[in-house]
Amino acid sequence: MKTHDLIQGSPEWLAYRKTHFNASDAPAMLGISPYKTRTQLLHELHTGISPEVDAATQRRFDAGHAAEAAARPLAEEIIGAELYPVTGSEGKISASFDGLTMDESTVWEHKLMNADLSSSLPGGFIPEQYHPQLEQQLMVSGADKALFMASSSDGTAEAHVWYISRPELRTAILQGWTQFAIDLENYTPTEVIIPAIAAPQMGLPAVSIQVNGSIALVDNLQAFGTALTAYVERINKEPETDQDFADLEATVKTLKAAEEALDAAENGALAQTESIDNMRRTVGLYRDTARTNRLLVEKLVKVEKENRRTKIISDAGTAFTAHMNSLNTRLGKPYMPIIHADFNGVVKGLKSMDSMLDKVNGELARAKIEANAVADRIQINLNTLRDLAGEHKFLFADTGTIVLKAPDDLTALVKTRIADHQAAEAAKEEATRERIRKEEVERLAREQAERERNEANARAKAAAEAEKNALDAMTPATAPPCHQTVVVPSQASALSDKHIADRNAAAFIDRIEAKQATPPSLSLGQIGVRLGFAVTSVFLASLGFEATTVKASKLYHEDDFPRICRALVDHIESVCEAVS
């Protein structure tokens, strides 16, 4: 807060207030002040001319200052700290404090006790009209709370209530001053509004009719008729201002009096004579003239007032529609929702054109402020969508609806939609990859099984052929005993094709089921050392064990050795059975 060395009530302080948006004017700016209208505040700040303080107002000010000075010690006792008066500002937003603590944590605002405050404060209620001033004081000072106090000038009455900040009101005040600044810039001073008072009406001549003994009439009907006709011709039949309507209402009263005067004169004349036809017809003519024009003026007043009322409301509606269109233009698309402006409601029960105009202008300003706040929120949300959505704009076909959400809610919605979409896409991609992987594994397994079956069949066929040739060349006397049989690849000929195929298939299945997690490290030499005799990779391949070639070495998995041993046992037993 920037402080200003000003004494409240001084010429310098008054000049300062004309260039700032003051806390005490916040109720009038929001249209809830019972002392000043929003239109009057616009006029004052635009022209720099404030109403002169009359003697009665000055006495009220003096009483308020006296009450404030007397109440200050009590306020300091309640707060528990010394208070000092100061004027502070944040930009053009200003506040004059009756009292502020040195650490600027607590505000004191004092009012002269009145009937409204004496009935509300004891119950812990601060009338709504004082809230904007208190809220702006907290906003400017950065204080946490305000002690609102009212007391009488003689110190016989005192009441106080603590005021705590209302964030929604603070937002409304900031938005209200923003719109007020726009209206102030476009303000055109009008004639100072004063209560309409009917212009003095020149009375018509008194009607005089006398009847003498010879039944001769002595009257001034001709002069009265001339005056009445001239009066009627001067009637303003196109009223526009409150002054015009006040004059016409006075005219109604004058014409009504003329009717009554003619009736009274006629009745007086009839009391003096039985029948004076000419006088009665003349009186009737003028009475009808007065009555007809009175009714015309009454109807004119009613119709024209309604026309003016309708025009005031219509003009406000047109202005608000133009404002809404400008907001949609700013946003780029018609995102603005319907903002309710109750122009009919605010003029209900009002009779003065000036009061109607002021209330409608206040409602127009309120609706503009609300619309501006909605447009600002939409703009924030559009910016968020642009920044966060990126390539996912297609997920937000309902932009026109979701931009009306609170910014935090929209941010969460955008992130959730994108995350859900990405998760769904990732799941799709993973499912596709898994399907392709399974299909590939199945294809490779089928191809490997087919290849190994073909190789096993080919090896078995070759081995059988070689064994047959060897057996044909051998005699029984030279055939080695079973225990002397050397394990060589040619002895596999004793196996049937089916036995070999089953064995190889089983070995393949074992290898698939025992999928290795580490590289092969078991060499042919190590296998021979463990077995006590040498084997070849070709022989092990015939048993279903394919080697992994690393440079010049043929390597096997360590987990293959137990199965190699079982395969060797099966092979030896099969060979023994075949030659025994």
pLDDT digits (tens, 9 = 90+) for 59-117: 888 888 899 999 999 999 999 999 999 999 999 999 999 999 999 999 999 999 999 99
Give the separation between CA 157 and CA 165, rounded to whole angstroms: 26
pLDDT tens-digit series, residues 474-484: 544 444 444 43
Tell me the pLDDT tens digit for each residue of 136-188. 999 999 999 999 999 998 878 899 999 999 999 999 999 999 999 999 888 88
- As a whole number of angstroms, the distance between CA 476 and CA 74 comes to 136
> Is the pLDDT confidence value at 342 over 70?
yes
Structure tokens at 200: 């003095």
| pLDDT at residue 349 is higher than 80 | yes
- pLDDT for 199 equals 65
Higher pLDDT, 485 or 247: 247
More confident residue, 254 or 218: 254
Residue 477 pLDDT: 43
Structure tokens at 187: 């303000």
C-alpha angle with apex 122: 121 to 124, nearest 5 degrees?
65
What's the mean pLDDT in 413-433?
A: 92
pLDDT class for 432, splitting at 50, 70, 90? very high
Average pLDDT over residues 45-60: 80
Domain boundaries, the chain: 2-185, 196-385, 452-579
pLDDT tens, position by position, 298-340: 787 777 777 888 888 888 889 999 999 999 999 998 999 988 8
Q: Is the pLDDT of residue 272 over 80?
A: no
CA distance 171 to 180: 14
- pLDDT recorded at residue 191: 54
Residue 130 neighbours by CB distance under 10 Å: 24
Give the confidence band of 473 by pLDDT, cuts at 50, 70, 90.
low
Angstrom distance (rounded) from CA 384 to CA 387: 5
**Sign of the four-CA dihedral 323, 324, 327, 328:** negative
* Phi/psi of residue 30, nearest 5 degrees: -85, 0
* pLDDT tens per residue across span 482-519: 443 344 444 444 444 455 555 555 555 555 455 445 78
Query: 531-545 burial, b for 16+ CB within 10 Å, e for fewer?
Result: eeeebebebbbbbbb
- Give the integer Cα–Cα distance in Å for 506 and 567: 10
- Does the pTM exceed 0.85? no
User: What is the SS3 assignment for 220?
Assistant: coil
Q: Give the number of other CB atoms < 10 A from CB of residue 4.
A: 14
Q: Cα separation of 257 and 252, whole Å?
A: 9
Which is more confidently placed, 297 or 528?
Answer: 528
Residue 217: band (very low, low, confident or very high) from pLDDT cuts 50, 70, 90: low
pLDDT of residue 77: 94
Question: Which of 397-406, 490-499, 534-543 is least confident?
Answer: 490-499
Mean pLDDT of all residues belonging to the chain: 83
Instruction: DSSP for 77-99, please give it.
Output: HHHTS-EEEEEEEETTEEEEEEE
Angle between helices 221-233 and 277-331 (to 10 degrees): 10
- Domain 2-185: which CATH number of 3.40.1390.10, 3.90.320.10, 3.30.70.1560, 3.40.50.2030: 3.90.320.10
Q: What are the pLDDT digits (tens) for 275-291?
A: 555 766 777 788 888 88
Ordered alpha helix ranges (H), 273-334: 277-331
**Tokens 């075949």 appear where?**
578
State the pLDDT at residue 356.
86
pLDDT of the residue at 377 = 92
Model pLDDT, residue 480: 44
Can you give the pLDDT at residue 553?
Answer: 82
Judged against a pLDDT cut of 90, whether residue 255 lies above it is answered with no
